[in-house]
Each structure stands twice: as C-alpha cells, then as structure tokens.
Structure 1
Amino acid sequence: METERLIIIFGIAVAYILVTTVVGMWSVKKTKDTESFMTAKNQMNVWIIGFLLMSEFIGSGATIGTAQGAYTKGMAVAWNCSTLAFGYLLYSWLLAPRMNKLGEYTISGALAKHYGEKIKKIVSIAMTIALTTVCVAVYTGGASAIAALLHIEISTAVYIIAVAATLNVAFGGLRGVGYANIIHTAFKFLGLLILCMTAWSVAHNNPDILAKIPSEQFSVFSPGVPASQILAWLIGNIGAVFSTQYVLQCVCSLPNAKAARKATLVAGIAIFPIGFMAAFVGVMSSGIFPGIPSVMAMPAYFDIMNPWLVGIVTASIIASTFVSILACQLGATALMVKDFFIPIMNPSEKNKIWITRIVSVLIGLIPVPFALGVPGMIKTFFFARALRSSITVLLLFMIFAPLMSSKKGGFVALVGSLIVTIAWMIMGNPFGIDNIYVAVVVPTVVILADYAIRKMRGTEENQEENQEKSQAENI
C-alpha cells in the first residue's frame, strides 16, 4: 500500500515537471531574437502578465517558509509575503505607466538615463547578486521539500530543479516563463487551498486541537512578530517590487501605460491571500502536530492525506520552487547580457540570441554549488530584498525628484549603501536594526547631503558672481 502511495505521488510530480518544462520550451518558436526573448512584446495579455508579475515573489519562502514561521510565531508571519500587495498597488499608481513609457527593459538601463553609464554595471552586479541569492535559497528550500516527498537525495532534487528551470528559460524566454508560470501559479493556489481545507477538516473533527493553539496565534498582529519586523517586511517588499528586473520586463511587454497599471493591480490583488493561506496552515499545524520541527509544518499533513491530493500538493510545492527561479534567472540573464556580454563581445544580431541562451544556462547553474548551505529562507530572501531597496531609492529620486539627485551623488549613494548593508547583515543587524532600514536610509542621506552641498556651492558661486558684478558696476 505504501509503495502504491509513493508511485502515485512520484508519478504526479514527474508528470508535472515534464509538462511544465515542455510548455516553457515550446515558446522557442516565438523567441527568435533577444528582444522577443526579454520582453515578448505584445504576445501576452494583461491577465497573464498580472499573474506573471507576482510569480517571482511566491516561491518556497512564501509557502514553506511562511508556514514554518507561523508554526511558532502565529498568523502575523503572513505579512512577510502579503505586504507585497501594497508594493504592487503603489507600483501601479506611481511607476507602472512611467516605466512602460520609458522603453527600457533593464533596471540598470533605466537608472543610467539619469545617473549616467557609470552606474549601470554597479546596478547590474547588485541586482544579479540579489537575484542569485534568491535562487540559492529557493533551490535549497524546494530541493529539501521535493527530496523528502519523493524519497530522493537532496542533491538529485537540486539538479532536477536546475535542469528543468534552465531549459525553460533558455528556450522559452519571457513568453515561455510566462505560460509555465501560469500553470505554476494555478497549482500553488490549488495546493494551498487543499492544505487549508485539510487543516480545517482535521480541526473541525477534533475540537481539542483548537484548544491547544493560543488564541493570539490567530491574530494578524500576533505578539510573536513585532511591529518593527512587519514594517521592515513592508519596506523590503515595496523596494523589491519597485526595483526588480523581472517586474520591469513584464511591464515593458505590455502595449501601453494603461495596460501596465492594470496588470500590476491584478498582481497585487492576487498575491495578497497567499501569505495568509500559508500562515493558516502553519498555525493549525502547531495544534495538529505539536512538537515537530517547524520546517515540517507543511509537509506533516501529507501523512494524513489521500495520495492523489498529496501528489497535487507536491506539484504545488514544485511550482513554488520553479515560479521564483524562472523569474530570477530571466531577470539576471537580461542584466548580464545587455550590460556586459553584448557591449564586450559586440555580436551580430543573429548571434545575440545564442549568447542570451548560453548566459541563461550559466545563470541557472551558478546557484547549484551553493544550494546546500543557506540560512533561514525568510532571512535570506529579505537580505536580497534589502540590496534591491537601495536601488529603489535611486529610482524614486530619479522619477519624482530628478533635480535633487546628481550622477555623482547617485553613484556614491548606491556603492555606499551596498557596502554598509552587506556589512550590517554580516554583523548580525546590530542594535536590533534590520538591514532593510540601512539599505533605505543610507542612499537617502547621501543623496540629500549631496543636494545640500551642491545648493551651498551654487549659492556661494552666485554670491561671488554678484559681488564681481557689483564691483564692475562701481568701477
């Protein structure tokens, strides 16, 4: 009986990986040049792009990581994911139309229009590090879950993830990633819904279970998560949405500003319930399965579920893994190709697409050696988002206060904030101050200081000029 159960689960999981990989690769016919690979201009409608926009942020950390945190800290952990909705709503209102009109599909290229070419490579490197950090965390979390469910080695699961994701990106580009991620997103919602219904059903049939869970654990502002942490998640998520390369690529694939705004609204509304569904699963698990390691808060349900349902939920966990990896790989590929490989190699138009595919393969394989030594998933995700928050500050000054930010000030602000943020994280966030605050405050202070210095110099120069004019008139 146990063997039959494993065969059902394994079969559904393998079929899911094969089908979604083929769907992604099928778009190779539509990606005949670098532009179509990176933006798939006008090839997908607003609704598809809306779900595609949210896909980078609903990986393993948004499900397994959130359930793990909620097991001990309560429903408030949901905000680590659900605050992304506020990021998308703000993006829709403030940036989506402007970025669509900008006509630039890399975040580094967009910033270079104001801060100069000197800043482009720094932005590309910082963003690629951030995206690769996310990939490493997702490879690790996804591989651990898949290995446990399918009874295979973690290293084998890592290679399966790397190969399937890399083939999808290398062949399908944004269009392939888009259609594959529609399937992944649908299965993610389905898997979470099955888990929520299972948890509710078990608790309904065993009233004593709810009595084991402190009532404050169900509060969306439970004491296990301080307000400062929720604020840090909010700032980090807004920064991540505003500065993520993949989001910009999606927005640029739409025909006009109105469509860009609508797609980001769809993304915000769709992503909001995910954190709370995963957190509910984790909180209920603390009553149903007391005493287990928190990382098992979600997988623990599989022992009491029908194998066909476990197969679907396993597919949803696989979806959680791929949905983020595909987005991160595509974003990092766009940055490396446009800002490094094409300027250095200066290839013909015909060869650009092959260089793009080769780079996407390299980007997909780089995280593999690092995928077994990562700290807590949520912590790793938010360090990556802290790096991107510094870029967001520069972007907001460029859009809304261009006169306050100079080329030199922007460059110093970005380099300084990256150095200080990384150092702050390595020191373990001294004084209880999260590195996300450092990533926002440092570039803001530098840009404002640069503006003040330039204003003072300008005032002094004007005074000297007026004195010279006065002296000339007296003569």
Structure 2
Amino acid sequence: MATIFGASQIALIVTFVIAYIVITTMLSIWTMKFTKSNEHFMTAGGQLPFWIIGLLMISEYIGTSATVGTAQASFDNGIAAAWSIVTFVIVFPLFGWFIAPKFYEMREYTISGVLNRQYGKSTRVMTSVIMIYALLVVNVANYVGGAAAVSSVLKVSLPVAALITAGVTIVYVAVGGLRSVAYVNLIHFAFKYLAVIIVVIVGVGLGASYSNMLAKLPEVYFTSVGKIGLPTIIAWGLANLGAVFSTQMTIQAVASVKSVSDARKASLIAGLLAVPMGILATYIGLQSKYLFPTIKSVMALPIFIHHMNPWLGSIVTAGIVATVFANVSATSLAITALAMKDFIVPLAKPSEEGKLRISRIVSIFIGLLPLPFVLLVPTIIKTMFFAKALRTSLSVVAVMGFYLPFFKSDRGATWGLIIAAVGASVWYFSGEPFHIDSTYVAIALPVIILILDRLLSRRKYTESEKDMKA
C-alpha cells in the first residue's frame, strides 16, 4: 500500500531537503575564499585531486538522465536502457588515454579554444555557439527531472519546483566556481548513489524481485536490445563518446588536475562509477513497470517516495535533488566559461577583477535561462541524447584535426559545424525520420563537409597552378 504522507511527514521531508540545501550551500560559500581570480573560478587553479575530478567528470553523465531518465527509459523499453550509461566504462578510458593528454598540453579550458588552435577563429565561434546550445538543452532536461521529483513530494507545480532548482544551483556556481561545484559534488554524489540503492531495496520489499518481474513483464524487457533496437543503442554509445570527447565541463576538469597521469586516473574512475548507476536506475524502471504499470513513465523513480517511510523518503528526495544540482551546476559553469571566453571578454575587455564579477553575473542569467522551456520536454533521456548528438559533431571535427590534419580547414570546419547543428536539429524535431537517430546525422555531416572542402580546395589549387603555367 502507498504511504499517504500527513502534514508532519511532509514537514519532515521538507525540513530534511532544506537542511541538505543549506549545508551544501554553506560548503559552497566556504570555497569562495579560494576563488581569487577568474582563472580560479574556471579551473580552480589546476590544483584539484584526481579522484575529486573523476567524480566531477562522471557527475554530468549520471545526473537526471541517469536516474530519473534511465528509469523512465527502462519503464518504457526494458533492461536495454542500461546501455545509455554503461557504455561510459569504455568511453572515459578512451578519452583519458587518447584525447585528455592533448587537451592538457594545450592548457585550454574550453572546447572552442582547442578547435581555435586547430582550425581558426570562425571555427572557435561556431564551436562555442553549438556547445552553449547543446548544454542549454541538457539543463532544460535536468530541470524537468528535478522538478518532477520536487513537485511530487512538496506538492508544488513543475515551474515552481524548477525555480527552486535554479535558485540553489545559481548559488553553487556564482559563489565559488569550479572549486565550489567540485567539492559540493562530493556530497551530491554520495546522496544520489544512496538514493537509488534505497529505492531498489524498497522495490524488492514491495515484491518487485527479479524473478517476479521476469515472470510478469514481457520477455522483450529482458533482452539486450529491448524495444530500443540496436541502431539506437549504437547511436547512444557514439553520442556518449562524442559528448565526453568534446563536452566543456570535461575539458575544464582536465585543466583542473596537476598532470596528464592524473587526468587519466580521473577518467578511469569516471568510467567505473558509471556502471552501477546505470544498472540500478534500469532496475528501478523495471520495478516501477511491475508495480505501477499505469503511471506516467517520468514518475518511474519518484513514485517510490510515496511507498517508504518519511525518513527514507527524505534521503531519496535529497538524492534526486542532488543529481539535479550536481548536473545543473556543472553545466551552468561550462556555459559561463564559454560565454565569457569567446564573447564577453573579447568584446568588453574587462579587468581581471571585472572578469570574476561578470562571470558570477553571467552564471546567474544562465541558471535562469532554461526555466521557460521546462514544460516542453516530454522525454528526458531522448532530449539528453539529442544534446549529446550536437556535441558529437564537435568531437568529429576535433578528432579529424588531431589525427587527420590533411583535412584541416577553418572554412570547412565552420560550415561543417553549422550544417551539422542545423541538420541534426531539423532531423530531431522532425521526429527522426526512418528511425535514424540524430547522432548519425551529427557525425556524418561535418565529415562530408570537411572532405568536400578539401576536394574543392585541391581543385582550385590545381586550376590556379595550370593558369600560372599557361
């Protein structure tokens, strides 16, 4: 039977969550004394331990999409939803060994700065625009997941719950920058893992053991591809690969450690920590489908809060809130870094003290920007993978620049990114015709444009050479 919370029980949960927010906010304020410059705001001076950075790197990927979103996908499609997270165990080590050293040697903390070194100014600007666009999409999806949990327990509307999320994360980012986000993330990380473990145990207590679910749910729910299908699962893996290789926060994280060796250790930790979260969140989705088959899929995880005692409900609510706070704050800081370095600083040319002050103001605006779009996102995980698809196009251009310099062209890279962003967006909002995932579109278009640009450049060069001989 569902636990119907009375006024005193709801008050307990509210008090617990408020206490959690206050404690993490105080920790964030404490880190402010270490943030003396804009460089410290963006990279913590490059002095953070590798294990803290490893937790920070994976936090963006085991936030709302990995808890509420993966449970939702599992509820709808079966155990194959785990692939959306488990593939990081391969992706992060690949990043650590092949890409992170190159980023570290450049001493750049933005993806646009990296591509500027490889291609040129116009590529830098377009890279920044696309990354900001992709990360804003990520934050909209994060706000939806957080609002679903907060509104379920506190009985407030989705917009109000999203506003609460925005207010708290704005403080995390604006006060202490990367150091604040990294240290507060330690608490968030512990709570979100504890939350999913509690939900699984409660689900088993309600009768949703693996054997019971296997007997009742459709057989397709327990196959390796489920209702999702192999092409989509492959697209998920490619999107995760592309997202990690080019995501702004990942690059900031690499700039925040002391050596290449630490960057590799952090990447390995990030990959290993993804696996249990993917498995647990997927299991919760199956439990919810077994126990509550008629609910909206987005409530697959939050519904369990009403089936446990208020103390456990408080911990789980705090854990769900933690996934959102960790993810939103990291993403907001990444957008702030791009906006400052590529647009505001070149145009306004502020002093060093002015940079820090403006960075804090910009982070407040960015924290509020996703709010009007919260009600427009129906499926969290699908939205998150669209954002990853956009970032994958940046990874394709970056990898070609590193390993296929023959195709280097500022013009080709710029137009490749523009066409990839527009093409992937049109494809996604058209409902992904022919069941072709937008990730494939985001990968193919920049490659085609860079190859065509190279061929056209060679043709013009050959014709010019002929004219000179004539």
Shift of 1:154: 2.4
Residues 270 and 316 of structure 1: CA distance in aligned 2, closer, same or farther (over 3 Å)? same
Q: Who is 2:85 aligned against?
A: 81
Give the superposition deviation at 1:238: 0.8
Residue matched to 1:357: 360
Between the aligned partners of 1:3 and 1:355, the Cα distance in structure 2 is 43
Contact 2:79 2:226 (8 Å CA) reproduced: no
RMSD across aligned positions (CA): 1.9
Structure 1 residue 291 corresponds to structure 2 residue 294:
yes
Helix, strand or coil at the partner of 1:57: coil
CA distance, structure 1, for counterparts of residue 109 and residue 160 of structure 2: 35
Partner residue in 1 for 2:101: 97
The aligned counterpart of 1:3 is 7
Cα pair 2:123 2:411 within 8 Å, conserved:
no
Aligned to 1:321: 324
Calculate the TM-score normalised by the size of structure 2.
Answer: 0.94
Q: Quick check: 1:403 aligned with 2:406?
A: yes
Equivalent pairs counted in the alignment come to 466
Q: 1:293 to 1:154 in 2, by over 3 A?
A: closer
8 Å contact from structure 1 (residues 62, 274) kept in 2: yes
Of residues 422, 425, 429, the one that matches 1:426 is 429
Contact 2:208–2:291 (Cα < 8 Å) also in 1? no
Q: 1:262 maps to which residue?
A: 265
Question: 2-side partners of 1:72 and 1:126: how far apart?
Answer: 30
Partner of residue 344 from structure 1, selected from 325, 344, 347 = 347
Identity between Structure 1 and Structure 2 (%): 40
Task: Please tell me whether the aligned partners of residues 107 and 245 of structure 1 are also in contact (alpha carbons under 8 angstroms).
Answer: yes
1:70 maps to 2:61 = no
Aligned counterparts of 1:324 and 1:273: Cα–Cα separation in 2: 18
Give, in whole Å, the separation in 2 of the partners of 1:148 and 1:17.
Answer: 18
Paired AA for residue 282 in structure 1: G
CA 1:72–1:414 in 2, change beyond 3 Å: closer, same or farther? closer
Contact in 2 for aligned 1:43/1:175 (Cα 8 Å): no
State whether structure 2 residue 27 is matched by structure 1 residue 29.
Answer: no
CA contact 1:38–1:334 (8 Å) conserved in 2? yes
**2:200 equivalent to 1:196:** yes
Distance change (3 Å), C-alpha of 1:107 and 1:312 = same
Question: CA 1:457–1:230 in 2, change beyond 3 Å: closer, same or farther?
Answer: same
**Judging changes above 3 Å, is the alpha-carbon distance between structure 1 residues 99 and 370 closer, same or farther for their aligned structure 2 residues?**
same
Inter-partner Cα distance in structure 1 for 2:39 and 2:208: 53
Indicate which of 245, 269, 272 corresponds to 1:242. 245
**Structure-2 residue corresponding to 1:472:** none
Equivalent pair of 1:24/1:176 in contact (CA under 8 Å): yes
Query: What code does the residue aligned with 1:128 have?
Result: I
SS at match of 2:74: helix
- After TM superposition, the structure 1 = structure 2 runs for residues 36-435 of structure 1, keeping only pairs within 5 Å, are 36-203=40-207, 210-219=214-223, 221-435=224-438
Q: 1: CA distance between counterparts of 2:71 and 2:151?
A: 18
CA distance in 1, matches of 2:209, 2:356: 57
One-letter amino acid of the structure 2 residue matched with residue 59 of structure 1 = G
Moved more, 196-205 or 45-54: 196-205
2:17 to 13, 29, 54: 13
154-163 vs 389-398, greater mean Cα deviation: 154-163
Q: Deviations over 1:117-171 (max 9, x none)?
A: 1222211111111111111111122112111112223232222111110011001
Further displaced range: 379-388 or 287-296:
287-296
Secondary structure of 1:347 counterpart: coil
* Whole-Å separation in 1 of the counterparts to 2:390 and 2:339: 17
Q: Secondary structure at the match of 2:45?
A: coil
The answer to which of 292-301 and 132-141 deviates more is 292-301
Q: Distance in 1 between matches of 2:320 and 2:454?
A: 48
Larger Rg: 1
CA deviation vs aligned residue, 1:16-74 (integer Å, no higher than 9, x gap):
11111221222111111110000012432010000001111122121111111211311
Q: Residue 413 of structure 1: CA displacement?
A: 1.0
Residue 43 of structure 1 aligns to which amino acid in structure 2? Q
CA distance in 1, matches of 2:210, 2:185: 37
The answer to which of 84-93 and 38-47 deviates more is 84-93
Which secondary structure does the structure 2 equivalent of 1:95 belong to?
helix
Q: Distance in 1 between the 2:12 and 2:126 partners?
A: 48
Q: Structure 2: which amino acid aligns with 1:8? A: L
Offset of 1:261 from its aligned partner?
1.1
State the shift of 1:402 in Å: 1.6
Query: 1:349-396 deviations in whole A, cap 9, x for unaligned?
Result: 121110111111111111122222223111211111111111111110
For structure 2, list consecutive stretches of 5 or more residues without a partner in the other structure: none
Q: CA deviation at 1:462?
A: 6.1
User: Deviations 1:164-199 (Å, cap 9, x if unpaired)?
Assistant: 100110011000000111111111111111112222
